[in-house]
Amino acid sequence: GMGWALLGVGLLLALYTLLRHGLRSAPRPRARPELRGRTAIVTGGSSGIGAATALELARCGARVILATRSAPRGEAAASRIRRETGNNEVLFMHLDLASLRSVRAFASTFLRQEPQLHLLINNAGVSAGGTTEDGFSLPFQVNHLGHFLLTQLLLERLRSCAPSRVVIVASSAHCAGRLRPERLGRPPSGLFSTFQDYCDSKLANVLHARELATREQGTQVTCYAVHPGFVNTSLFRHAPLWLQALLVPLAWLLFLEAAEGAQPVLDCATRDGLEPLSGRYFTHSGPQVPWPAGRDDRLAQALWEGSERLLGLGTPGG
């Protein structure tokens, strides 16, 4: 009895190990350019892909601002990155994307304290449902609207420090996204509303990058949307326990490590000669054509105008 059970467990573990290593090719560490004298902001920089991205940027000599919600986690991540890289220009600044007031406070503090900005990495994301203090759906606000506002508030600084880049962490989940301009920011209805909401926000990311690139032509501010791969991060920490029980083993099997997920994000942030590809959607294998809704320019423009309207930005008729 016991022997067979142990043998079974052993075989399962062996199979699991084989699968895990067979299905995932180890990332080749890429040579990255020298970034001394450049300043980067990474939202959600205290864990997962954000932390892995921040670590690598710091290693290249950049000044890195971890813009994240939890002060204890943000401070801990900043000091860990300083220690690991020997780069002392890594600091935490508080940013809660679920609060537009917090986004505005972060931007004004940053603009007052930091003279330069070359890289804005809009990485933070949630997959939980719910509503923010501003009355918008949580994934839509954290994943898109808060980042949209942040980008608009920092755009002048990005222009004055150009060439500069905005990297938006999107997802292949945009394939299931549906955006209705007249219902922007309201949670969708139905059984899978939280999942739908997440996919919608990821479609918004792809379209935001596309429209920003169009509007910034000639300014030397370029923009890229990136699907980092299905990465084993804390994105699913709000899923119900029975779903976590299913997702966690699968995640370990198939999802990439955060360091691997950070590679295409870093590529978009640092690779030479990407400027002609501004507005495009990238994956591990380079620029890809997004799903049809992700290349709908009329929808991209409607999303932009709708986002401005929700935020009270933009001038009437301009």
Burial zone of 230 (CB within 10 Å; 0-12 exposed, 13-18 middle, 19+ buried): middle
For 224: left if phi > 0, alpha if psi spans -120 to 50, otherwise beta; the answer is beta
Residue with the larger pLDDT of the pair 297 and 232: 297
pLDDT of residue 3: 63
Q: Report how far residue 76's alpha carbon sits from residue 13's, in angstroms, rounded to the nearest whole number.
A: 34
Percentage above 70 pLDDT, the chain: 81
Two structure tokens written together for 192: 């899978």
Two structure tokens written together for 179: 């955006």
For residue 269, is pLDDT > 60?
yes
Min mean pLDDT across 98-112, 178-192, 295-309 is at 178-192
Q: Strand 119-122 relative to strand 90-94: parallel, antiparallel, unpaired?
A: unpaired
Q: Report how far residue 90's alpha carbon sits from residue 303's, in angstroms, rounded to the nearest whole number.
A: 34
For residue 232, is pLDDT > 90?
no
For residue 9, is pLDDT > 90?
no
Q: How far is CA 290 from CA 38, 206, 207, 306, in A?
A: 30, 8, 10, 22
Whole-model pTM: value is 0.84
Task: Label residue 100 by pLDDT band (50, 70, 90).
Answer: very high
Task: Label residue 261 by pLDDT band (50, 70, 90).
Answer: confident
* Closest by Cα among 167, 168, 196 to 271: 167
pLDDT of residue 240: 62
Instruction: Count Cβ neighbours within 10 Å for each residue of 152-180 and write b for 16 or more, e otherwise.
Output: bbbbebbeebeebbbbbbbbbbbebbebe
State pLDDT tens for residues 131-169.
Answer: 999 999 999 999 999 999 999 999 999 999 999 999 999
For residue 60, is pLDDT > 90?
yes
Residue with the larger pLDDT of the pair 57 and 13: 57
Highest mean pLDDT among 94-103, 195-204, 221-230, 287-296: 94-103
Task: Please give the single-letter amino acid code of residue 72.
Answer: P
pLDDT of residue 255: 45
Of the CA atoms within 13 Å of residue 82, those in its CB half-sphere come to: 14
100-113 and 146-160 are packed helices; what angle lies between their axes, rounded to 10 degrees? Answer: 20
Min mean pLDDT across 21-30, 62-71, 117-126, 201-210 is at 21-30
Alpha-carbon dihedral of residues 24, 45, 243, 285, nearest 10 degrees? -30
For residue 226, is pLDDT > 70?
yes
For residue 225, is pLDDT > 90?
yes
Domains of the chain with bracketed CATH? 34-311 (3.40.50.720)
Residue with the larger pLDDT of the pair 127 and 249: 127
In sequence order, the β-bridge partners of residue 142 are none
Question: Chain-wide mean pLDDT for the chain?
Answer: 86
Alpha-carbon dihedral of residues 40, 42, 46, 52, nearest 10 degrees? -80
For residue 272, is pLDDT > 50?
yes
Percentage above 90 pLDDT, the chain: 60
Q: Check: CB of residue 58 under 8 Å from CB of residue 78.
A: no
Would you call 281 a catalytic residue per the annotation?
no
Two structure tokens written together for 182: 């007249």
For residue 253, is pLDDT > 60?
no
Catalytic residue among 16, 198, 224, 281: 198
